[in-house]
């Protein structure tokens, strides 16, 4: 994402908790800051991309002394809606605008500049940010601050649920005597077709659980789905079941790819397994 901003001609100051990751951008003429406050000091727009809401809060707390009135902060991390709203409220008291703009599309989307970007913002702040966001992907304004996180949770609920049901379909095919690879090929092009069936269905058949997206990230997002549902006063029974699936392997396979939903399902069905290839695990 930072590389694409540099390639588009934007002046960029980079800071990372692991300095070597920021220094890699120095070859593209980014300036590497020593701390978050220095990184944001002369910025018109500040972009954060971090692991989770508490980390965003910690980093922004250190950065705040460097922020100027009129700066626009865009947090592209995946956090809870309440965390995004709290940061928005804090920054508003400083005269700093805020957008929560989580993304979907993974490393491939980041490299290609095709990320789906879900923005929660005031209309005028989104208009200001849109040219920058378009360098990284396809931004859509989905509501006021905090709503970007709701949209991302909807995305993750669909992803997590689809992963779980594809795992069930492949295991059922195997257990019923069919060739699961042939079943996947047969249903592609019909209503069951999806990018998840294409990419992660193949991963499951190959038993390749080396990480792209990780179990721990999917589990975090699904827990946040349930928190958001409770806050909104809705009951999501499928979300609860899918969350439990990921909880069941979180302690033992936190860094495995999210397609390890298949491994969670196989643990529930002793003696049943898709294919005979060895598992590829981190």
Q: How far is CA 192 from CA 11, 39, 139, 197, 259, in A?
A: 44, 46, 27, 8, 17
The residue to which tokens 């396979």 are assigned: 253
**Main-chain dihedrals φ then ψ at residue 166, nearest 5 degrees:** -65, -40
Name the pairing type of β-strands 137-143 and 115-120. Answer: parallel
Residues 6+ apart with CB under 8 A from 100: 75, 79, 84, 87, 88, 119, 120, 121, 145, 146, 147, 148, 149
SS3 content of the chain, % helix, strand, coil (to 5): 55, 10, 30
> What DSSP string runs through 3-46?
HHHHHTT---EE--SSHHHHHGGGGGTPEEPSSHHHHHTT-SEE
Is 152 a catalytic site residue? yes
Catalytic hit among 152, 216, 272, 280: 152
What is d(CA 83, CA 78) in angstroms, rounded to the nearest whole number? 10
The alpha carbon of residue 175 and the mean position of all alpha carbons in its chain are separated, in whole angstroms, by 33
User: How many other CB atoms are found less than 10 A from the CB of residue 254?
Assistant: 16
CA–chain centroid gap for 33, Å, is 25
Q: Is 48 helix (H, G, I), strand (E, B) or coil?
A: strand
Active site residue ranges? 152
């Amino acid at each position: 994402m930072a590389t694409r901003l540099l390639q588009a001609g934007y002046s960029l100051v980079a800071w990372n908790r692991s300095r070597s990751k920021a220094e890699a951008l120095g070859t593209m003429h980014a300036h590497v800051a020593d701390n978050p406050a220095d990184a944001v000091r002369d910025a018109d727009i500040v972009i954060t991309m971090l692991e989770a809401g508490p980390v965003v809060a910690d980093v922004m707390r250190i950065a705040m002394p460097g922020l100027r009135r009129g700066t626009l902060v865009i947090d592209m991390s995946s956090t809870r809606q309440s965390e995004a709203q709290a940061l928005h409220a804090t920054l508003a008291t400083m005269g700093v605008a805020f957008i929560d703009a989580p993304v979907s599309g993974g490393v491939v989307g980041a490299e290609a500049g095709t990320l789906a970007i879900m923005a929660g913002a005031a209309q005028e702040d989104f208009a200001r940010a849109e040219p920058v966001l378009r360098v990284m992907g396809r931004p859509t304004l989905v509501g006021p601050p905090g709503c970007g996180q709701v949209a991302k949770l909807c995305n993750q609920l669909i992803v997590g649920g689809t992963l779980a049901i594809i795992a069930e379909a492949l295991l059922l095919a195997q257990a019923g005597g069919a060739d699961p690879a042939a079943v996947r090929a047969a249903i592609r092009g019909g209503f069951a077709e999806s990018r998840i069936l294409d990419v992660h269905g193949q991963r499951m058949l190959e038993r390749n659980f080396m990480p792209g997206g990780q179990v721990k990230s999917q589990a975090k997002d699904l827990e946040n789905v349930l928190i958001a549902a409770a806050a909104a006063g809705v009951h999501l029974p499928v979300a609860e079941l899918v969350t439990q699936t990921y909880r069941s392997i979180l302690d033992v396979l936190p860094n495995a790819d999210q397609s390890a939903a298949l491994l969670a399902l196989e643990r529930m069905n002793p003696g049943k397994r898709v294919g005979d290839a060895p598992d590829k695990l981190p």
